[in-house]
Each structure stands twice: as structure tokens, then as C-alpha cells.
Structure 1
Amino acid sequence: MNGPVTFDELAALMKARAGLSVDPREMERRPDATFAEFDLDSLGLLGIVAELEKRYGSPLGNEAEGCKNPHAFLENVNNQLTAAGV
């Protein structure tokens, strides 16, 4: 799995890890919408971070876990993966 993590992938992870059905286009259209607005809590976000770390074989750290919205999360994760050469 190379390339940036997308809104589609994040929506699929939210479904798999937290049981939430979220339209990835809605997340993309609403840059200031928080994870809470999509009903994702911090535990659900931790699960998503853990899954991405497993998939990409690269630690993401506390910065990703602290992101409050999907846009910031994807930017942070993709920057970290790029820096790690993934």
C-alpha cells in the first residue's frame, strides 16, 4: 500500500474500527469538521492509527492521535509516511 492515505481509506477504517458509516466526500468537503462531528471518539482514532501503523510498518506517534479533524489527520499521517519513505 503505497501512496497517500485518502479520505476513502479513512472512511473505510472508521467503518472497520469504529463501526461508523461516513461519506468520505463529506469529510473532504468539510475541512473544519471534527472527528467528534462524525461520531469518532479518541479510542476509535487510536484504533485507526494502530491499523495504519500495522499496514505501513511505520510508527505514527502522538501527533496523529492528537489530530481533531480528518483533514489534519490525513495531512499529518501522509507527511509522516512520506518522511519515513513509505
Structure 2
Amino acid sequence: MISELTYADVASLMKSCAGLTADPLLLESRPDTPFADFGLDSLGLLGMVAELEHRYGMPIIGDAEGARTPADFVDRVNSSLTVEA
């Protein structure tokens, strides 16, 4: 069963894929803050998408690797998971 991606999941992905520690509550309270402000670059974002694709065994559609903010990333990934479910 595929569940929705949360800000806690995003923080966990940032840690495991890019080595960045981010407070999930901060990501949720400032969802429109650019990933760059949290130290995440495009390579880290690609790693996060790749991890999700591996985890769910399907491609994440909707250009999730182009997301610029946590809110945008969560929306794109969850939209993809809804379509694929």
C-alpha cells in the first residue's frame, strides 16, 4: 500500500540522500521556502526522487526533481502516487 509523502518523510529523505538534517516541523511550517535555503541542491533532490522510485517500485511522474520547495515536492510526489495507485 502506498501512503502519502509527509514533511517528516522529506526530512528523512534529505538526511539519507543528501546528508542534510532538517526539522520536519520547520519544513511544514515554512513549506514555500526554497530547498536551497535548507542546503539541498539539485543532485540531492535527484537522489530523493531515486530513493522514492526504488521504495515504491515505480517512477515518480510529474517532474518531482524540478520541485523548488518542500510543498512543491510533496504535492508532486503525492500527485504521482495517487495516479499510480
TM-score band, normalised by the shorter chain? over 0.9
Q: Name 1:17's counterpart in structure 2.
A: 17
Distance 1:18 1:52 in 2: 14
Gap change, CA 1:81 and 1:64, over 3 Å in 2: same
Q: Name 1:63's counterpart in structure 2.
A: 63
Q: Which runs of 4+ in 1 moved over 6 A?
A: none
What do the CA deviations read for 1:50-78 (whole angstroms, capped 9, x no partner)? 00000011111461011100101001100
Contact 1:6 1:74 in 2 (8 A): yes
Which residues of 2 match residues 1-86 of structure 1 at below 5 A? 2-61=2-61, 63-85=63-85
Report the TM-score when normalising by structure 2. 0.94
Supply the AA of the counterpart residue of 1:9. D
Q: Please, which runs of 5 or more residues in structure 2 have no aligned partner? A: none
Kindly report the root-mean-square deviation, in angstroms, between the aligned alpha carbons of the 2 structures. Answer: 1.2
* Percent of pairs with identical residues: 52
Report the TM-score when normalising by structure 1. 0.93
Residue correspondences, number: 85
